A and B are shown apart, each in its own frame.
Chain A
Amino acid sequence: MRTVERFPNLATAIVLAALVVLPLTVPATLASQIAIFATGALSVALLLGAVGLLSFGQGLYLGVGAYVCGILLRDAGLGLIPALLMAALSGTVLAGLLGSVIVRRHGVYFVMLTLAFAQMGYFAVLAFKNVTGGENGLSGLPRQFDLLGFSIADPLSMYGFMAGAFFLVFLLIQRVIASPFGSVLAAIRENEPRCEALGYPVARYKTAAVALAGGIAGLAGGLHVIFLGFVPPSDIELEMSQRLLVIALIGGIGSPGGALMGSAFYTIVSEALSEIWPRWMALIALLLIGLVLFLPGGLWGARRRISALFARNTAHD
């Protein structure tokens, strides 16, 4: 049994420091992408870490958030914050609906259903071309935003906004994990039948966690659209779900701090390698195999394992 850490803790400080340092080390547009995909990966990390649910379908909610945000910005003339809130809300509602069906199935069934529903979202986008723009996506969105009098137009202010959004979600997840609700989720992860026997409405708790994760992914989709200025259909493709999962795994299974680390790693590596060798995903695949076999805690967990190794060595001396 893992002890529940209080928050804000060391991880909060590290993440905050990393967000400040990030735009100094990489270009601001790249830093924005890192923050956006880290937000999306937080939804995977929440499910996997807090409840132990492996989702291959978080890209669905990211994509839905992206389309909702794009359509509201363009056609309904909504402002930045209302559009983002609606993106998060749409992700929450859809994930809540699908979740109430999916959580009834356990283990591999759950995983398969998340993937199947993610595919469904992609084909829905193709089926309703007049709303979604089909394979062309949606363009013609506003490129300039105001937030409390500050203009968000240049790369650095854009990064500030994305990093702020990521940090808020990060704090929210830390708060949720440390809450009584989070303790129940952890109990479900450790021993679901026992929770059921204790009288907890397990399905309802799991649905709530899935809905929350869907909302976070939806928000990330909205952020991505704000950043890009259009809605790419790739946001709702299966590849997006896989990307979020890979980022969360590289960072460390289920650790919220790892999402930022994984996203930074993935985004920087893809940026650096895609020019030299377009098939760099093969390397990611090899890395993933290595992680599963040798480093189950991911990069974030490596820190703990290395310190554990040192501790063991000193104990032997």
Chain B
Amino acid sequence: MSTQLLLFQVLNGVGIGMIYFLLSVGLTLIFGLMRFVNFAHGAFYLAAAYITYAVVLWTGSFWWALLLGPVLVAVLALIIERLLLRHTYALPHEAQILITFAVALLIQEVVILLFTPLGHNVPVPAALSGIVFLGPYVYPAYRLAVVGVAAVVAIVLWIAIERTKMGSILRAGSESAEMVGLLGINVDRVFMATFALGAALAGLAGVLVAPLRGVEPFMSAEALGIAFVVVVVGGLGTLSGALVGGILIGLVQSIMSTLWPEGAQLMIYAAMALVIMIRPTGLMGRI
């Protein structure tokens, strides 16, 4: 592999990894506070990708999609939380898994119903369709912008969780939601907000990924698998785990896709198997 190709693949890997981070961090936040794994997470990502496709088709503007994708998905998540999930908090954790799984199935079927099972391409926004020079090398501007957006989100999230009152409620809630409730904080509302935030982050990942790989209705299952791998590798419940896991998996995928294209996806899962055998709690995990 030449230096240029290696650099290109490393950058690509970080770009994909940042999208994987956005996809997984919501899963981690929701798990940290509410103690269940949201199987509809991939479907939120799917929904946002299709919102991007529809908005770009309609208005021609990717920027509207960047706003509407996460917002509409957050609204969808709120409706699902109020209508269905809320009633399962008292049930064993299988109930939440199964109900979010059913919701994922439903969202996927609705997407196929509206947009047919065939995939579609989403154009890269015109302002970012060019290339940038990184020293002697060239790189697509859009991919670089994705890394930038995800990095900003990661920093904002970190500040919000570590340095704000809302963040301290979130951290306390993940230690003991019951205790936080006894202190007079409306835990119900915190659950609601966290679920919507997590969904919006998956939505942001879905919007950003649409111009890179297009949209198709079965991308949700793939995304869910990837998000699971990322949180297993990084460690569930920590922001840094999602970041480290996401970038690591992105790098594995990107570098393997030059070395062994058919096996690139397989190697992601092999990397996960390796990590859990060496460190069952994940690289950054505490539990």
User: Which residues in A have some Cβ–Cβ distance to B below 8 Å?
Assistant: 54, 101, 104-105, 107-109, 111-113, 115-117, 119-120, 123-124, 126-129, 238-239, 242, 249, 253, 279, 281-282, 284-286, 288-289, 291-293, 296
Q: Which of A119, A242, A249, A291 is within 8 Å of B225, CB to CB?
A: A119
Contacts of A124 in B (CB 8 A): 266
* Closest residue on chain B to residue A280 by CB atoms: B109
Question: Would you call B191 an interface residue if the criterion is a C-beta within 8 Å of the partner chain's C-beta atoms?
Answer: no
* Closest residue on chain B to residue A102 by CB atoms: B276
A111 touches B102 (CB 8 A): no
Question: Would you call B46 an interface residue if the criterion is a C-beta within 8 Å of the partner chain's C-beta atoms?
Answer: no
What's the Cα separation between A288 and B40 when bound, in Å? 14
Q: Which B32-86 residues have a C-beta within 8 angstroms of A?
A: 35-37, 84
Contacts of A104 in B (CB 8 A): 280
CB-CB under 8 A for A120 and B273, given A111-B37, A115-B228: yes
Contacts of A284 in B (CB 8 A): 105
Question: Would you call B106 an interface residue if the criterion is a C-beta within 8 Å of the partner chain's C-beta atoms?
Answer: yes
Question: Would you call B232 an interface residue if the criterion is a C-beta within 8 Å of the partner chain's C-beta atoms?
Answer: yes
B109 touches A285 (CB 8 A): yes
A108 touches B102 (CB 8 A): no
Chain A binder among B92-100, B173-181, B239-247: B92-100
What's the Cα separation between A69 and B262 when bound, in Å? 24
User: Which residues in B have some Cβ–Cβ distance to A below 8 Å?
Assistant: 31, 35-37, 84, 87-88, 91, 93-95, 97-99, 101-103, 105-106, 108-110, 112-113, 221-222, 224-225, 228-229, 231-232, 236, 260, 262-263, 265-266, 268-270, 272-273, 276-277, 280
Q: Which of A108, A282, A292 is within 8 Å of B95, CB to CB?
A: A292
Q: Which of A109, A112, A123, A292 is within 8 Å of B266, CB to CB?
A: A123
B225 touches A115 (CB 8 A): yes
What's the Cα separation between A253 and B109 when bound, in Å? 24
CB-CB under 8 A for A279 and B103, given A108-B31, A108-B97, A123-B266: no
Top 6 A-B pairs, shortest CB-CB distance: A120-B269, A282-B109, A285-B105, A288-B102, A127-B263, A119-B225
What's the Cα separation between A104 and B276 when bound, in Å? 10
Q: How far is the CB of A174 from chain B (nearest CB, A)?
A: 23
What's the Cα separation between A109 and B275 when bound, in Å? 14
What's the Cα separation between A279 and B221 when bound, in Å? 17
Interface Cβ pair total, 8 Å cutoff: 111
What's the Cα separation between A124 and B270 when bound, in Å? 10
CB-CB under 8 A for A282 and B113, given A108-B36, A238-B221, A293-B84: yes
Q: How far is the CB of A146 from chain B (nearest CB, A)?
A: 38
What's the Cα separation between A242 and B37 when bound, in Å? 16
A-B contact pairs, 8 of them (CB 8 A): A115-B225, A116-B269, A120-B273, A129-B262, A285-B102, A289-B84, A289-B103, A289-B106
What's the Cα separation between A129 and B263 when bound, in Å? 10
A126 touches B97 (CB 8 A): no
CB-CB under 8 A for A116 and B106, given A108-B31, A292-B95: no
Q: How far is the CB of A254 from chain B (nearest CB, A)?
A: 11
A279 touches B113 (CB 8 A): yes
Beyond contacts A116-B272, A285-B105, A292-B98: 7 other A-B pairs, Cβ-Cβ < 8 A, are A112-B228, A112-B232, A116-B229, A239-B221, A288-B105, A289-B99, A293-B87
Q: Which of B108, B268, B270, B276 has the most CB of A within 10 A?
A: B276
CB-CB under 8 A for A116 and B228, given A282-B110, A288-B105: yes
* Closest residue on chain B to residue A284 by CB atoms: B105
* Closest residue on chain A to residue B226 by CB atoms: A119
Contacts of A281 in B (CB 8 A): 105, 108-109
Contacts of B265 in A (CB 8 A): 123, 126-127
B109 touches A113 (CB 8 A): no
Q: How far is the CB of A53 from chain B (nearest CB, A)?
A: 10
Q: Which of B87, B103, B280 is within 8 Å of A285, CB to CB?
A: B103
Q: Which of B102, B112, B229, B273 is within 8 Å of A292, CB to CB?
A: B102
Q: How far is the CB of A280 from chain B (nearest CB, A)?
A: 9
What's the Cα separation between A279 and B112 when bound, in Å? 8
Contacts of A279 in B (CB 8 A): 109, 112-113
Contacts of A101 in B (CB 8 A): 273, 276-277
A282 touches B106 (CB 8 A): yes
Q: How far is the CB of A101 from chain B (nearest CB, A)?
A: 6
Contacts of A238 in B (CB 8 A): 221, 225
Q: Which of A115, A285, A286 is within 8 Å of B224, CB to CB?
A: A115
Contacts of A292 in B (CB 8 A): 88, 91, 95, 98-99, 102
CB-CB under 8 A for A116 and B225, given A282-B110, A285-B105, A293-B88: yes
What's the Cα separation between A285 and B43 when bound, in Å? 13
Q: Which of A281, A282, A288, A289 has the most CB of B within 10 A?
A: A289
Q: Which of A113, A120, A239, A296 has the most CB of B within 10 A?
A: A120
Q: How far is the CB of A189 from chain B (nearest CB, A)?
A: 11
What's the Cα separation between A145 and B93 when bound, in Å? 45
* Closest residue on chain A to residue B270 by CB atoms: A120
Contacts of B37 in A (CB 8 A): 108, 111-112
* Closest residue on chain A to residue B265 by CB atoms: A123
Q: Which of B108, B113, B265 has the most CB of A within 10 A?
A: B265
CB-CB under 8 A for A282 and B105, given A54-B94, A123-B265: yes
